[in-house]
């Protein structure tokens, strides 16, 4: 069996092993450490990375990893599972999205890889920000060992559980076939996991939001290994049913990768009625002006253009306009705002609408 060494954790066939990665030296003289668990089978096979809690208040993935990574798993595997319960221990301790040493989104900090513009003379690139340094360490382990990657997240307080199909980018025709193959592999992983799936934002917005520098986005688009993100409903809390279904889904993805025997386990969609066609994420509707919103829909609800999404009033309770914020799109409600107050152009909800964009896209786009 191939030996996998991640930080101080070293694989042993048929066993669970534990260790850590030294993430960041702190000014107080101690080191922030990222925990690592390795389950290795007794037969050769792929190496699958499971990661969680890159946003410190997104908790479900920690529980999934704790319950999934057992001695029984190690004994039944072909290959190796490397699990990282928290990629952001500083944020976890504070119960916040960001670590205390870097108030930037840690899931936009992974190396730019093939998206780096070598001709740019950017001094900031010579001095990576604190979490960029941590992300680089993780990325190096992904690069060295990962054949597959799954990153666990939570969305917002009122949201559905769903998997994300990332956009996949190629440079030219010689690169396009590889991108198409990756897209099929990513689709296979998402379908194996079993929960509702949504494509991500269109290519231009995907790049503008730096999603190619997310953990799974970087593994997929720069390292060219199959990877995806799953959003597991509410953050800040643990929902036992979501944990249980996600463990089944993760085992199914390991079966898809040829690492576990047995039939695929049936996964609950928690009552979600799936749209007939593939959807993509959209931040819609938005508030036309400042006011108070009182939501009228539930996560997972199918809506039609013109349906009211929220009551819309001033602080005295008097209607603004016709008293409603309405959707201009048919689709499914993915996540709902968890505050009452809004300002002009604030997002009231996130929806899934019919995806008319290709999953693969050329980058940089060809000049017209």
Every domain range in the chain assigned CATH 2.40.50.100: 279-354
At 150, which helix (H) or strand (E)? strand 148-153
From the list 80, 48, 87, 85, the residue with the least C-alpha distance to 65 is 85
How many CB atoms are located within 10 Å of the residue 305 CB? 11
**DSSP letters spanning 287-310:** -SSSEEEEE---TT-EE-TT-EEE
Structure confidence at residue 368 (pLDDT):
60
Question: Which tokens sit at 169?
Answer: 């980018």
Could you report the per-residue pLDDT of 175-206, keeping only the tens digit for each? 999 999 999 999 999 999 999 999 999 999 99
What would the mean pLDDT of 139-144 be, rounded to a whole number?
98
Q: What is residue 120's predicted lDDT score, i.e. its pLDDT?
A: 62
| CA geometry: angle 237, 90, 112, nearest 5 deg | 100
CATH number of 5-256: 3.40.630.10
CB 354 within 8 A of CB 279: yes
> Where exactly does CATH 3.40.630.10 map onto the chain?
5-256
Query: What pLDDT shows up at residue 247?
Result: 98
Q: Which CATH architecture has domain 279-354?
A: Beta Barrel (2.40)
pLDDT at 222: 97
Share of the chain above pLDDT 70, in %: 98
Judged against a pLDDT cut of 90, whether residue 294 lies above it is answered with yes
């Amino acid at each position: 069996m191939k030996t996998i060494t991640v930080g101080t954790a070293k694989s042993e066939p048929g066993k669970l092993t534990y260790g850590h990665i030294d993430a960041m030296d702190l000014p107080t003289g101690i080191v922030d450490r990222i925990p690592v668990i390795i389950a290795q089978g007794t037969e050769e096979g792929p190496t699958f990375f499971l990661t969680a809690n890159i946003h410190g208040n997104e908790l479900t993935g920690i529980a999934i990893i704790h319950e999934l990574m057992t001695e029984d798993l190690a004994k039944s595997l072909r290959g190796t599972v490397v699990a990282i319960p928290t990629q952001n221990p500083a944020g976890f301790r504070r119960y916040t999205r960001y670590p205390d040493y870097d108030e930037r989104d840690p899931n936009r900090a992974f190396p730019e890889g093939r998206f780096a513009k070598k001709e740019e003379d950017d001094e900031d690139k010579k001095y990576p920000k604190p979490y960029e340094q941590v992300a680089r360490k993780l990325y190096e382990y992904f690069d060295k060992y990962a054949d597959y990657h799954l990153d666990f997240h939570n969305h917002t307080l009122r949201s559905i559980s769903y998997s994300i199909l990332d956009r996949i980018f190629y440079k030219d025709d010689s690169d396009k076939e590889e991108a198409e193959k990756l897209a099929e592999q990513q689709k296979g992983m998402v379908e194996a996991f079993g929960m509702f799936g949504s494509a991500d934002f269109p290519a231009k917005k995907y790049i503008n939001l730096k999603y190619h520098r997310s953990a799974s986005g970087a593994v997929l688009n720069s390292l060219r290994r199959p990877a995806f993100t799953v959003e597991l409903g509410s953050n800040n809390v643990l929902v036992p049913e979501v944990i249980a279904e996600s463990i089944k889904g993760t085992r199914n993805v390991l079966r898809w990768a040829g690492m576990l025997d047995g039939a695929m386990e049936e996964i609950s969609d928690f009552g979600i009625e799936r749209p007939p066609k593939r959807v993509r994420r959209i931040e819609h509707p938005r508030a036309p002006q400042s006011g108070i919103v009182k939501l009228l829909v539930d996560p997972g609800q199918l809506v039609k253009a013109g349906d009211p999404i929220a009551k819309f009033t001033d602080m005295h309770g008097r209607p603004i306009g016709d008293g409603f914020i309405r959707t201009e799109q048919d689709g499914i409600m993915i996540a709902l705002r968890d505050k009452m107050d809004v300002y002009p152009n604030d997002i009231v909800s996130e929806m899934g609408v019919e995806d008319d964009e290709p999953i693969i896209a050329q980058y940089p786009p060809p000049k017209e």
